Amino acid sequence: MQQLLAPIHGFLRCETPQTWIDIARAESSLEELLIDHCNCELKAAQTAMFLLRRYALSQDSGRSLLTWAKPYEEFVYLKDRNIEQFLARDVKKNELIASLQPNEHFKFAQDLIPPLIRLIKEEFHHFEQVLELMRARHIPYRNIRAGRYAKGMMSHVTTHEKDILRDKLIVGAYIEARSCERFAKLAPYLDAQLGKFYVSLLRSEARHYEDYLSLAQLVSPEDISERVAYFGEREAELIMAADDEFRFHSGQPL
């Protein structure tokens, strides 16, 4: 675990403050923690889907990708959701993956598709795992507002078309790295089942961080270290600043 976390801690500019842990571990936060975690998994899949559709896939394949996401999105966005039905549905993810066609006009299409498809698959699986835990604990899913973190990170993405993908990939790396750091830091304070689940997520989240970071360097003709440092500072500001709302990626509780 320490080996897995060493590069993450080197990448992030600050550690999650204990004030956040103290709120997150409280019994009264459990419902919001799990619902927001569930939403974060869907958002992570959607972000990767957006990048694939915008840059790497043919239009037809982009549409197939949307069909893949539909049951998850309907579960979250439609009011008449049924957790039992959703978890018992028939899934055919692998058939879709085999038939995806690259966008011929984007030279890194073949580099983006495999790691991002794998990431999407894993995020959807995590989404289902969180829902399973919620079902077992009789916590119903309900809509809650997203925190300010991801939006805050995205607000620093350049408007220069040629560098947007690089920046979004760096932002992806930070969000994944922070999630990984938080899972590890929070796990010992949670009940055994939840703690074990959070530790089980570390490996894939650490790989997502690595994949995003290496893709960011691949698509950029220049060295990205300065840009990485810039986003690292913005990210640490969001984590250390006072936040009036508790979320998985929120800042210091007021």
Q: 166 or 208, CB closer to Fe ion?
A: 208
Q: 13 or 125, CB closer to Fe ion?
A: 125
Q: To the nearest whole angstrom, how small is the minimum distance from the Cβ of residue 35 to Fe ion?
A: 15
Q: To the nearest whole angstrom, how small is the minimum distance from the Cβ of residue 204 to Fe ion?
A: 6
Q: 123 or 167, CB closer to Fe ion?
A: 123
The verdict on 208 binding Fe ion (CB under 5 A) reads yes
Q: To the nearest whole angstrom, how small is the minimum distance from the Cβ of residue 172 to Fe ion?
A: 9
Q: What's the CA dihedral at 171, 172, 177, 178 to 10 degrees?
A: 60
Alpha-carbon span 252 to 128, nearest angstrom:
29
Question: Among residue numbers 188 through 207, which ones bind Fe ion (CB under 5 A)?
Answer: 205
Q: Tell which residue, 159, 190, 234, 174, has the closest CA to residue 47.
A: 174
With CB under 5 A as the contact rule, which of the stretches 25-33, 47-55, 75-83, 115-123 interacts with Fe ion? 115-123
Q: 126 or 178, CB closer to Fe ion?
A: 126
The verdict on 243 binding Fe ion (CB under 5 A) reads no
Alpha-carbon span 88 to 200, nearest angstrom:
23
Q: To the nearest whole angstrom, how small is the minimum distance from the Cβ of residue 154 to Fe ion?
A: 16
The verdict on 121 binding Fe ion (CB under 5 A) reads no
Coil, helix or strand at residue 102: strand
Q: To the nearest whole angstrom, how small is the minimum distance from the Cβ of residue 78 to Fe ion?
A: 22
CA-to-CA dists, residue 109 to 112, 113, 139, angstroms: 5, 6, 40
Alpha-carbon span 81 to 141, nearest angstrom:
9
The verdict on 123 binding Fe ion (CB under 5 A) reads yes
CA dihedral (52, 55, 59, 60) positive or negative? negative
CA-to-CA dists, residue 17 to 120, 203, 205, 231, 236, angstroms: 29, 22, 20, 19, 11
Q: 123 or 243, CB closer to Fe ion?
A: 123
The verdict on 36 binding Fe ion (CB under 5 A) reads no
The verdict on 178 binding Fe ion (CB under 5 A) reads no
Q: To the nearest whole angstrom, how small is the minimum distance from the Cβ of residue 179 to Fe ion?
A: 6
DSSP class of residue 55 equals I
Alpha-carbon span 254 to 240, nearest angstrom:
11
Count of residues that interact with Fe ion, criterion CB under 5 A: 7
The verdict on 126 binding Fe ion (CB under 5 A) reads yes
Binding residues for Fe ion, per CB under 5 A? 41, 44, 123, 126, 176, 205, 208
